[in-house]
Structure 1
Amino acid sequence: MVDARYDIAFRLYPYERVGAQDADAPVRHPVVVVGGGPVGMALALDLGRRGTPVLVLDDHDGVGQGSRAICFARRTLEIADRLGCGDALVEKGVQWDVGRVFHGEDEVFTFNLSPEGGMRRPAFINLQQPHFEKYLVEQVRAAQAEGAPIEIRGRNRVSTLTRKDDHVALGVETPDGPYTLEADWLVACDGARSPVRGMLDLDFAGRMFEDNFLIADVRMKAKFPTERWFWFEPTFKGSGQSALLHKQPDDIWRIDFQLGWNIDRDKETKPENVRARVDAMLGEGVDYEVVWTSIYTFHCRRIADFRAGRVLFAGDAAHQVSPFGARGANSGVQDADNLAWKLDLVLRGRAPETLLDSYSEERIHGADENIMNSTRATDFLTPKSEISRIFRNAVLTLARRHPFARPLVNSGRLSVPCVYDGLSLNGPDALDGPAATRVGAPCPDAPLGDAFLLDRLGGGFTILTIGTNAPDEVVEDGIAARRLDLSLHDDTTGYLAARYLGRAPAAVYLIRPDQHVAARWPAFDERAMRAALRRATGKE
């Protein structure tokens, strides 16, 4: 079956009966992931590539429809590189650098996200979520062919959940009836309406914003440039308080209209009413096809803890933000990136179960940062009082002529990766080095001849040395950290020195499997390195 609207294979994992459905006793699995979206598939792929058996249960049989998430950040693309699909995402996606902000008919200012030099990946690409999911599933299939222990079961809906001391028992509904299974660890990646979260009676805390937005994906041969255009109080008829225009692959354009709170959803999604809004924005004579529409209301909230015993939560099942700033899917993929290596070490007996508490600690830190930024953007977009509106419009007026006011304009602060400042897994920061590579930060990329640094960091612990000596490997309590030795001769562009040395003549970094800095020093110290390894794996 093909989704003709987006020209991608839809039924990527159709239902098949499995032996476990006829077993006399429930089959136990090390990890069960509930939800086959981008977060669940990224987690399963990462675990499977590490050799940890994982089962994905999805209540559908393939990727979703419609654009949904469309903007993927550099950090997500770097994670995708490690998972094997970065090239496919960038090749299919639309790269953009320029954004324009309008107030009414007037352009307030233009910003440029020209990719920072020395990076393999662009700052952002636009790509419909179904494509992202499809490329992940293709990598799962490739990994399965190479022996990775990953299984996907489509049209398997989790209907009951019982937590035990050492496992989770699940009831699963299928087209052939129910069956039961067990999981040492369960990861809920089942979206904003998470049935797993509901079964555990876990509530979100945060804000719901009293507004509705209409998404319209339209296919057209438009002369608009490949830019992000955002309007405050647009003048075209029926547009509401704000509107957004973004280009996607295959001549699809994403349009968002702010509708207000008290609306008739059925009326607003009637084809003639959607077309009336689009016509008013695009002008006369533009030939287009509406291929998908949806109305959404968004929240900025999260659950109190991302771990509930042997159940862990990731992506929208754990936290929700507004779509402005592209923080939803990007933060969810970073959840999976943070969790996979920790869960793998725990299952292998190389780290205590308490290491999984650091997953909750670190990703709550990231979620709170995203919620803060998302809330600020939403308050700027939709002022809650007349005084707030006057302030917002005064900022927009000033920003037309005065650069100092432009950082105050908030049409969605675009997603950046979280830095785990001051959290429990961090070791010492004894290097007088650049802030961008401080302890807790994700490693920025740098060219190394015809390769890039992140390609060489792999999926385990790495001892990065620049201009100093260290052993080829340090093994501490079953955890191996392997050396990557670089010199300034490798740094033909100067980016490595600028990002990892600064004014220091030499440096030693301990880098985690998710490419975050665990500790750094001016020279190798074996005792300090072993202590940092213990701390980074939850043993201190």
Structure 2
Amino acid sequence: MDPVIVVGAGPVGLTLALALARQEVPCVVLDETRGQDAPRAARSVVLREDTAALVERLAGAPLGQAGLRWSGWRSMRRKQVTGEVFFDETGNGAGTAAVSGARIASGARIASGARSGAGAAPGVAGNAEAAGAAPLHIAQHVLTGALRAAVAREPLVELATDSRLDTIEQEPTGVTAHTRGPNGTWWRGSHLVGCDGPRSTVRKLQDIRFPGRTAVERHAVAALRTELPRPAEAFLHRLPPWRTTGPSAGEIAARPLPGGVWRLDWLLPPGKDLVTPELLVARIRETLTGWTGETSPTYELLDTGVHTVHHRLARRWRAGRVFLAGDAAHLMGAFGTQGLDEGLRDADNLAWKLALNWHHGPHEALLDSYQSERRAAVAARLRAADQVLPLVRGGGLRSYVPGSSRGHDALLMDGHLGRGTLGTPGSYAGSPLAPPRFDTEAPVDTPAGAPVADVVVTAEDGSFVPLRDRLGRGALLVVLVAPGTVVWERRHWVSAGIMPRLAAAVTALPHPAELLVAESYPGAAPHTVLLVRPDGHLVTALSGVRPADLYAAAEATLGGPLPSGTRAEAGAEAGAR
């Protein structure tokens, strides 16, 4: 069978190619460049902890040494002492109208820790496993380099450089693409995915509209090496009192990178005024002076730029055998929301669906669900940002939002830390793949359709692994919550209690599934059985072993019965018992 054609060799395209290869699907990546990314310290990205874990699984290497993780945040009250600004901790979330700045504590992956009990950082679990559960800040060229290195080692992925797409032709049995350049030729594939950025050629060739808003926000950006009073902490200062170079209308963000490097972002006033080198240097000096109290702070300027935020959403994400992902499908970025993070979720969602179709034949309902799920999730975040934007930037939040005395800071933190409507990863509760409600459903802290918690599980070989390590292999995951199993070797309990009956039910499912056992799961009672999709989203949680309900939920997750000749026929009768 023909490979999948991926257009674009940025982080989203490379992630998709590696995710497909992990599920034994060959692909060709069309890269219009020569295969190299120029180092740009001012061009960095923020990944939520689950998308960072996705990249690490596929790249085969930890990213902790290449970036910094944020482990939590506390509100800060600004005080003025002899002209110097410093921050006084006021606790986690009980801010007042006087709160004008915030920090986000961060550190290297090993050093970042979670706080438990009263004072625990919002969204961070109070246990040692949560030490790495934090957003990751990393230079984009470093991220892309790690993915390119993994692609070079992957025999199922062919990277075609100097290959610029100019033609797409679809047929009932496949798609053909033509590239121009030194290596221009025709390529034949089963499907084609456009991961080719905001000016996507794939989107234009398919005549897909890309409506939205231009220049929602503009930020001046600088990457520099310097020393700040709070090393390895990210700052978000909403109303700096020292602003003299232009209107003091927007916040300043400072995010650390390894090696004493910082990325600083200044929100620019509306308009198209040029950011001259002189103006940018003045902003750097006054910001560092305000934070350090030094009249002539020392720094090494590494890189500069202007980041313009657009909010756009493609009308369609699928046109027959052609799909869109990443910036080709959506643009976002106000309030710290990260478009690349959503693009990686696109790749994770689409990979297992394309893989199932590639191995088992056409299944249109499953492929259609990619647009239904991902477009709805991104649209919800864009809608939330567009609704909040005029309130926060225009100063009218107090009239509209209850508790608005602290609303500005809380809303900004939501986007930067992946919380609330601005930052929480999308849930697929309304997905066409969602199963019907079962009388045997059991309550857990994870809503159906949301990403599962990364608990430690016992795999079939008896090893203890994080649940996320078992994702992305194309198989469904069935997790039994069985307290006490962690203290016994697997051979002692694998044939006891409900395990044999559950194992038989898992074997009979209409798609390959892996049976895992967890000592506990947040909010789950003993003997709760969780069904998890290959991309880590919860399908359902059942009370005990319910073969018929488990089978029905698995079949719904696949978009209905699979084509004849697959495992669906062999397992249907046994699974219904």
Q: How does 1:44-59 map to 2 (within 5 A)?
A: 44-59=17-32
Query: Over residues 166-210 of structure 1, what are the superposed CA-to-partner deviations in whole Å (9 max), with x where a residue is unaligned?
Result: 33332212235x322232211011112212112222222333345
Q: Match for 1:454: what amino acid?
A: R
Instruction: Indicate the residue corresponding to 1:13 in structure 2.
Output: none
SS of residue paired to 2:65:
helix
Could you tell me how far 1:333 is from its partner in structure 2?
Answer: 0.7
Aligned mate of 1:439, from 440, 448, 468: 448
Structure-2 separation of matches of 1:296 and 1:393 = 29
Give the distance between the partners of 1:196 and 1:536, measured in 2 at CA: 29
Query: Which position in structure 1 is the counterpart of 2:37?
Result: 63
Further displaced range: 185-194 or 221-230: 221-230
1:517 aligns with 2:509: no
Moved more, 133-142 or 326-335: 133-142
Name the amino acid aligned to 1:149. Answer: L
Equivalent residues of 1:219, 1:290 under 8 A apart:
yes
1:271 to 1:231, Cα distance in 2 relative to 1, 3 A: same
Q: Deviations over 1:306-357 (max 9, x none)?
A: 1111110111111111253343111111111111111011011256133110
1:89 aligns with 2:121: no
The 8 Å contact of residues 99 and 229 in structure 1, kept in 2 or not, is answered as no
d(CA) in 1 for partners of 2:279 and 2:403? 33
Map 1:281-360 → 2, pairs under 5 A: 281-283=287-289, 284-349=295-360, 352-360=363-371
Structure 1 residue 64: Cα displacement: 5.1
- The one of 526, 530, 549 aligned to 1:505: 526
- Equivalent residue, structure 1, for 2:481: 466
Of residues 34, 46, 49, the one that matches 1:74 is 49
Q: Following the alignment from structure 1 to structure 2, what is the Cα–Cα distance between the partners of residues 103 and 193?
A: 42
- Are 2:253 and 1:247 aligned? no
2:178 match: 171
SS state at 1:56 partner? strand
Task: Name the stretch that deviates more: 345-354 or 184-193.
Answer: 345-354
Q: CA deviation at 1:120?
A: 6.3
**2:548: which partner in 1?**
527
Of stretches 221-230 and 407-416 in structure 1, the one that deviates more from structure 2 is: 407-416
Amino acid at match of 1:157: R
Question: Alignment partner for residue 425 of structure 2, among 417, 431, 448?
Answer: 417
Conserved? CA contact 1:377–1:411, under 8 Å: no
| Aligned amino acid, residue 209 of structure 2 | D
Change (3 A) 1:505 1:158: same
CA distance in 1 between counterparts of 2:269 and 2:78 reads 18
Letter in 2 for 1:80: V
Instruction: Indicate conservation of the 8 Å contact 2:218/2:307, yes or no.
Output: yes
Q: Which stretch of structure 1 is more off in the superposition, 280-289 or 42-51? A: 280-289
Distance 1:528 1:538 in 2: 15
Change (3 A) 1:497 1:170: closer
CA–CA separation in structure 1 for the residues paired with 2:66 and 2:55: 14
- Aligned residues of 2:509 and 2:551 also touching (Cα < 8 A): no
The AA in structure 1 aligned to 2:211 is: A
Give SS of 1:437's match. Answer: coil
Deviates more, 1:252-261 or 1:424-433: 424-433
Q: Report if aligned partners of 2:316, 2:371 keep a CA contact under 8 Å in 1.
A: yes
CA apart distance, 1:151: 0.8
CA distance in 2, matches of 1:175, 1:208: 35
Map of 1:41 onto structure 2: 14
How far has the Cα of 1:537 moved from its partner?
1.0
CA distance in 1, matches of 2:401, 2:286: 23
Aligned length: 485
Q: Deviations over 1:479-514 (max 9, x none)?
A: 22232234xxxx3xxxx2434x1xx33211221111
Kept after mapping to 2: 8 A contact 1:350/1:479? no
- Letter of the 1:238 counterpart: T
For the Cα contact (< 8 Å) 1:381–1:411, is it kept in 2? no
Distance 1:219 1:361 in 2: 44
1:205 aligns with 2:211: yes
The one-letter code matched in structure 2 to 1:92 is A
Q: Deviations over 1:19-74 (max 9, x none)?
A: xxxxxxxxx94211111111111100011121111011111122354243421111
User: Once superposed, what is the RMSD of the aligned Cα atoms?
Assistant: 3.0
Judge conservation of contact 1:94–1:127 (CA < 8 Å) in 2.
Answer: yes
5+ residue gaps in structure 2? 80-84, 86-97, 104-120, 290-294, 459-463, 483-497, 562-577
Q: TM-score, normalised by structure 1?
A: 0.81
Q: What is the CA–CA distance in structure 2 between the aligned matches of 1:276 and 1:454, rounded to whole Å? A: 46
Structure 2 SS opposite 1:354: helix
Q: Deviations over 1:415-454 (max 9, x none)?
A: 3322111311122454554453232121101235964233
Secondary structure of the residue that 1:287 maps to in structure 2? coil
Structure 1 residues 366 and 205, CA gap change in structure 2 (3 angstroms): same
> Residues 114, 394 of structure 1: CA spacing in aligned structure 2 closer, same or farther, 3 A cutoff?
closer
Q: Which moved more, 1:49-58 or 1:418-427?
A: 418-427
Q: Is the 8 A contact 2:174 2:191 kept in 1?
A: yes
Q: Is the 8 A contact 2:191 2:321 kept in 1?
A: yes
Q: What's the CA shift for 1:358?
A: 0.5
SS of corresponding position for 1:43? helix
> Does residue 156 of the first structure (1) align with residue 151 of the second (2)?
no
Tell whether the 8 Å contact from 2:457 to 2:517 is kept in structure 1 after alignment.
no
SS in 2 for 1:464: strand
Match status 1:536 vs 2:536: no
Q: How has the CA–CA distance of structure 1 residues 476 and 343 changed in structure 2, closer, same or farther, with 3 Å as cutoff?
A: farther
Residues 211-267 of structure 1: CA distance to partner in whole angstroms, max 9, x if unpaired? 4221111222434432232233433222642221111123221111222233343xx
Which residue, out of 212, 219, 222, partners 1:216? 222
Change (3 A) 1:471 1:407: same
CA distance in 2, matches of 1:344, 1:172: 25
- In the other structure, the counterpart of 2:468 is 454
